[in-house]
Amino acid sequence: MSGLTATLLNISAQAASAATSAAPAEQPYKIEEQGVWLPQGSSTFAEAYDSAWNINIWISIIFFVIVIGPGAYFAFKYKRKSETEKTSPIDHNLTIEIIWTLVPTLVLFYMFWVGFKSYANIQVAPNEAMEVRLTGQMYNWTFEYPNGVVTTDLYVPKGRPVKLVMSSKDVIHSFWVPEFRVKQDVVPGLYTTMWFEATRETTTTVECAEYCGDGHSKMLTRVYVFEEKKFDEYYANDFDDPSNPVPPAVRGKRKYEALCASCHSLDGSRIQGPTFQGIWGRKELLTDGSEVTVDANYIKSSIVNPQGQLVQGYPPTMPAFSYLKEKDIDGIIAFLKEQK
Ligand code: CUA
């Protein structure tokens, strides 16, 4: 199943970025595989979680064979041969009944204990964990760090615990990082938390695991796990690569993919909002009957106050992205200028 998910993710990500060259941050959404059942384990939870998974799957397989095997055999062996054939009287057998009640009960307690141990550990974050505030909304994630930096990808240090304090702006989402073996609902009007500690440098994918609307399957983002020193450098530089400044249009493209792509297409097709194909300089008819030419000012005002000048025929559903930095908005403007 994980292999299929990873393949599908790769296909959709490649389709989305087929037109551009692959800078480091533009790699496809990926989840690394490890064997048949589970993706690569990249957090401290993986070992206990995977062993609980293996114990459960093997106990299930063994008991399936023990129960269904003889059941199928007896169904053939003792099938009624004629209309008049009568079953011989069968009495109960106390020893067998005690055994087949007691053994599965003990096995069930053991399975519960194995699962509960790692569940309890996953529920309680260590005190020294770095707290990141996560907000889910249709259809993207944002992360706010202790220093006030807001990102649309998640950056975490390897070997340091990270705690997410999560809430939703609209409907119920579910924050799922398969490689970390963590998944938690993100709910409007309620804070939920989860924590993890990454164990290897990697780039992996967050999926939304609760159906939340049209854009649910595109509610993806990346998790970057950096060595502590590299993490600290990035952290001090708003998570831009300190050694490789990003041109505005590339920055804008990243923001587009993270924030806008689930509602605004680049190829002329209609999703929730107007397409960005040929957006620059286009004349749009607004809900108040007036006309506007799309320029830098209109784009900026649509980002920070989307319902201010709404294009006719589209629902007023876009959230305000007022937390975006000036250079991110400039980047989006530069990117949209290129959409012919
Ligand atoms: Cu958010 Cu599904």
Break the chain into its structural domains and give their ranges.
Answer: 130-236, 248-337
Per-residue confidence (pLDDT) for residue 10, from 0 to 100:
47
- Mean pLDDT computed over 231-258: 84
CA distance 260 to 332: 10
State the pLDDT confidence band at 57, using cuts at 50, 70 and 90: very high
Number of the ligand 1 atom closest to the C-alpha atom of 136: 1
Q: How far is CA 21 from CA 14, 17, 100, 315, 319, in A?
A: 11, 8, 62, 34, 30
Number of the ligand 1 atom closest to the C-alpha atom of 172: 1
Find the residues whose C-beta lies inside 6 A of ligand 1: 139, 173, 208, 210-212, 216, 219
Q: How far is CA 332 from CA 116, 275, 323, in A?
A: 46, 14, 14
User: How far, in Å, from the CA of 172 to the mean position of ligand 1?
Assistant: 7
- Mean pLDDT computed over 242-255: 84
User: How far, in Å, from the CA of 15 to the mean position of ligand 1?
Assistant: 21
User: How far, in Å, from the CA of 137 to the mean position of ligand 1?
Assistant: 8
Per-residue confidence (pLDDT) for residue 3, from 0 to 100:
47
User: How far, in Å, from the CA of 220 to the mean position of ligand 1?
Assistant: 9
pLDDT over threshold 90, residue 42:
yes
Where is pLDDT greater, at 151 or 61?
Answer: 61
Angle at 228 between CA 224 and CA 231, to 5 degrees: 50
pLDDT over threshold 80, residue 4:
no
Number of the ligand 1 atom closest to the C-alpha atom of 217: 2
State the pLDDT confidence band at 1, using cuts at 50, 70 and 90: very low
Instruction: Enter the DSSP assignment of 260.
Output: I
Residue type, 87: T
State the pLDDT confidence band at 242, using cuts at 50, 70 and 90: confident
First vs last C-alpha separation in the chain:
39
Minimal-distance CA residue to ligand 1 atom 1? 173
Q: How far is CA 193 from the centre of its chain?
A: 15
Classify domain 130-236 at the CATH superfamily level: Cupredoxins -  blue copper proteins (2.60.40.420)
- Mean pLDDT computed over 283-302: 93
Q: Considering the domain 248-337, what is its CATH architecture? A: Orthogonal Bundle (1.10)
pLDDT over threshold 50, residue 194:
yes
Do the Cβ atoms of 332 and 152 come closer than 8 Å? no
User: How far, in Å, from the CA of 132 to the mean position of ligand 1?
Assistant: 20
pLDDT over threshold 90, residue 106:
yes
Alpha helices, DSSP H only, in the chain? Answer: 2-16, 46-77, 94-123, 228-236, 248-255, 296-304, 326-337
- Within 13 Å, how many C-alpha atoms sit on residue 171's CB side? 13
CA distance 44 to 280: 48
Number of the ligand 1 atom closest to the C-alpha atom of 186: 1
**59 burial class (0-12, 13-18, 19+ CB within 10 angstroms)?**
middle
Residue type, 327: K
**Bond from prior residue into 155 cis (ω within 30 degrees of 0):** no
| Residue that the structure tokens 């959230």 belong to | 319
CA distance 307 to 287: 10
pLDDT over threshold 60, residue 261:
yes
pLDDT over threshold 60, residue 24:
no
Mean pLDDT of the chain: 88
pLDDT > 90: percent of the chain: 64
| Residue that the structure tokens 């009960």 belong to | 105
Number of the ligand 1 atom closest to the C-alpha atom of 171: 1
pLDDT > 70: percent of the chain: 92
State the pLDDT confidence band at 15, using cuts at 50, 70 and 90: very low
Phi, psi of 44 (to 5 degrees): -65, -15
| Residue that the structure tokens 């923001």 belong to | 255
Number of the ligand 1 atom closest to the C-alpha atom of 208: 2
User: How far, in Å, from the CA of 321 to the mean position of ligand 1?
Assistant: 18
User: How far, in Å, from the CA of 144 to the mean position of ligand 1?
Assistant: 19
Q: How far is CA 7 from the centre of its chain?
A: 15
State the pLDDT confidence band at 27, using cuts at 50, 70 and 90: low
From 99-113, 131-145, 184-198, 316-330, the region with the lowest mean pLDDT: 316-330
Where is pLDDT greater, at 289 or 258?
Answer: 289
- Mean pLDDT computed over 146-166: 92
Closest CA to 204 of 154, 246, 238, 242: 154
pLDDT over threshold 90, residue 26:
no
Per-residue confidence (pLDDT) for residue 36, from 0 to 100:
83
- When mean pLDDT is compared over 8-22, 26-40, 144-158, the highest value belongs to 144-158
From 81-90, 92-101, 264-273, the region with the lowest mean pLDDT: 81-90
CA distance 226 to 210: 28
